Chain A
Amino acid sequence: MTLQTPSYKAAAISAQNNQTQSGDAPARSSFGELVQRHLSKLVVAPSFAAILVFVYGFILWTVYISFTNSRMLPSYELVGMDAYTKLWKIERWYVAIENLLIFGGLFIGVSLAIGIVLAVMLDQRIRGEGVLRTIYLYPMALSFIVTGTAWKWILNPSIGIQEFVRDLGFPTFTFDWIVQQDTAIYTLVIAAVWQSSGFVMALFLAALRGVDQEIIKAAYLDGASLPRIYWGIVLPSVRPVFMSAFVILAHLAVKSYDLVVALTGGGPGYASDLPATFMYEMTFRRNQISIGSASAMMMLATVVAIIVPYLYSELKGGKRV
């Protein structure tokens, strides 16, 4: 740390002095300390209370609503599992779920693949690495509502890539995924991978830089080739990053909303709906609040199923060290 201020130094010195004097005179400070300790709780209390209400309280509220028959306005009369039964009879919900599986699977897989490949390639003493890294990562700094405007144009068959390639002299070239029911979902993958793969690269690059160089050197002197070193030694040693990256990407996939709104609006029809857009549609546009809430609970369950085992293993790992 380079930011040592005078007060830091002074305090550090007095800390040392006091340690040598040993901590006597507790009677004088005990009352003050008591106040201070309560002060600490008081300072955290507003934030904690806000989170309790706005996160956990609201989740319970949504749970409750999902057991009512609320339509345009919340009603508080419980009717059991009706909303869930209805939800699982709506074809559009199945489309959203199926899309999430396709989208999530491809998005996670391709982002990981590109991210790792880029990280390994950037790790080869590349000139201009800083510039390249900056370029690879900038999509994360922009809202997808912004970049989606460009993607929509690029993917639009009559003005984008299709037209561009046709003008180059391939009049039969077709790239109209965004307007086709069965392929619209893949355009979401293209754009989502574009946005997040640079981030995966950054995660892996940081991890690669943390690998012990001596092991690499030894393997190299033993005659192992570079690809073998990476495949056999380096990648296995950054395994925890795979876990983190997977969880982050899965989490992003379930929450994807801006992406769909900006790119396809869920269309054509509802062919590229994801649970997040389904939930919004039901809750705010179709006056089906209880079904919207039930779908939100399904999203919550999915995220919890991904996050909790991960956090659990992280915490366990922490204790082992």
Chain B
Amino acid sequence: MSSLTSALPPAEGMGPRVARWGLYLILLLFAAYYLLPLVVMLSTSFKSLDEIRTGSLLSLPRDISTDAWIYAWTRACIGADCRGMAPYFMNSLVIVIPAVIISTLFGALNGYALTKWRFRGANVVFAMILFGSFLPSQVMLLPMAQTLGFLGLAGSAGGLILVHVVYGLAFTTLFFRNYYVSIPDDLVKAATIDGAGFFQIFTKIMVPLSLPIMVVTIIWQFTQIWNDFLFGASFAAGGAQPVTVALNNLVNTTTGVKQYNVDMAAAMIAGLPTLVVYALAGKYFIRGLTAGSVKG
């Protein structure tokens, strides 16, 4: 991937140089716009309430205090429950980890079956799995709530795991299918003639080849499920709520003195896992973004 203009000779003279400075200036201004909320969140979370009252929106903390973070993690009240964000953070982990593993596994198997063992109607099956992901979740919310109640999973982590696995299948299947399409069919054909079976080929040939797409899928699913709010708010009750729902409750609590630094620290806590993943493996996340949304 090289710049489109790299074929052109470098610009010379005074005018172009000024234009270049302008270009960098605009790009940096945009960077500031994108960074603003994060900077405000971070710097406010390290301030004391006094400093927030006297200081301004953009001023950096004079004395860095981690009190708000500790308070948010251990003692902040989410509704009537004053155990901080920690238990809700754990709830999210309990939901996210199995949901990511299961949906990725099914996605890989589906992708493999749909490309290397094509049966009649495979394309229709794939199209139907995929099409569902475009539809607004609102048309499925109420029946889902009823069904979870019927299955005895209402308000539990198990219910949310089920929901995230089912609605994640479209994307995981899409990722693996598009990836496996480019792996030569001859590989599978040869292995069958050598006597390898369906699952043997999957574990011995396909899985070792799938590392990059596996990373993309896991990061994508992790980010989506961790950030989910709608399903969490609709299906999780009280103590089983994921961290995003807890954060929203905390921020919208109107009783007592508003502790903005605690709100911001809680927001950072809720956002940190996906932010860290993005910082470490942003490349894979972006691949998921473009793969997940461009190609139908």
Contact = CB atoms under 8 A, between A and B. Distances in A.
B3 A124 contact: yes
Nearest to A13: B190
B139 A62 contact: yes
Contacts of B1: 206, 209
Give the interface size class of chain B: 35 or more
Given A44-B110, A143-B226, A213-B7, A59 B139 contact: yes
Given A146-B244, A149-B41, A311 B128 contact: no
A186 to B, nearest CB: 16
A7 B134 CA distance: 37
A58 to B, nearest CB: 4
A299 B143 contact: no
B267 A150 contact: yes
Contacts of B129: 47-48, 51
Candidate in B112, B136, B274, B293 with the most chain A CB atoms within 10 angstroms: B136
B2 interface: yes
Given A8-B187, A11-B187, A37 B56 contact: no
A36 B192 contact: yes
Given A37-B119, A39-B198, A134-B282, A234 B31 contact: no
Given A41-B119, A143-B229, A296 B141 contact: yes
Contact of A56 (B132, B184, B252): B132
A59 B27 CA distance: 45
B63 interface: no
Nearest to B170: A51
A50 interface: yes
A143 B57 contact: no
Interface stretch (A86-94, A176-184, A253-261): A253-261
Interface-centre pick from A123, A142, A151, A279 (highest chain B CB count, 10 A): A142
A149 B247 contact: yes
A55 B139 CA distance: 9
A173 B277 CA distance: 40
A147 B35 CA distance: 11
A77 interface: no
A57 B247 contact: no
B100 interface: no
B223 A7 contact: no
Given A7-B205, A50-B166, A159 B260 contact: yes
Contacts of B143: 57-58, 61-62, 65
Given A56-B132, A211-B4, A303-B134, A44 B189 contact: no
A29 B289 contact: no
B14 interface: no
B106 interface: yes
A303 B139 CA distance: 11
Given A8-B187, A44-B113, A299 B136 contact: yes
Interface string A42-55: 01101110111011
B186 A15 contact: yes
Contacts, number: 331
Contacts of A1: 209
B174 to A, nearest CB: 12
Contact of B113 (A11, A43, A213): A43
Contacts of B285: 140-141
A54 B293 CA distance: 21
Contacts of A52: 128
A293 to B, nearest CB: 6
A214 B144 CA distance: 54
B125 interface: yes
Given A29-B192, A143-B227, A150 B40 contact: yes
A194 B37 contact: yes
Contacts of A95: none
A143 B270 contact: yes
B7 A217 contact: yes
Nearest to B268: A146
B229 A145 contact: yes
Interface of A: 1, 3, 5, 7-8, 11-12, 14-19, 29, 32-33, 36-37, 39-41, 43-44, 46-48, 50-52, 54-59, 61-62, 65, 74, 114, 118, 121-126, 132, 134-147, 149-154, 159-161, 163-164, 167, 194, 198-199, 202-203, 206, 208-209, 211, 213-214, 216-217, 220, 226, 234, 244, 248, 251, 254-255, 257-258, 261-262, 265, 275-276, 279-280, 283-284, 289, 292-293, 295-297, 299-300, 303-304, 307, 310-311, 314
Given A135-B31, A202-B289, 10 more contacts: A1-B209, A57-B143, A59-B139, A62-B140, A138-B278, A202-B290, A251-B134, A276-B138, A303-B134, A307-B134
20 contacts: A3-B208, A14-B194, A36-B192, A39-B198, A40-B118, A47-B129, A50-B169, A54-B147, A61-B146, A62-B142, A134-B282, A138-B275, A138-B282, A143-B228, A146-B247, A149-B41, A255-B136, A283-B141, A284-B234, A299-B136
Interface of B: 1-8, 20, 23-24, 26-27, 30-31, 33-38, 40-41, 44, 56-58, 106, 109-110, 112-114, 117-119, 122, 125, 128-129, 131-132, 134-144, 146-147, 165-167, 169-170, 173, 184, 186-187, 189-194, 197-199, 204-205, 208-209, 211-212, 223, 226-230, 233-234, 244-245, 247-248, 251-252, 260, 263-264, 266-268, 270-271, 274-275, 277-279, 282, 285-286, 289-290, 293-294, 296
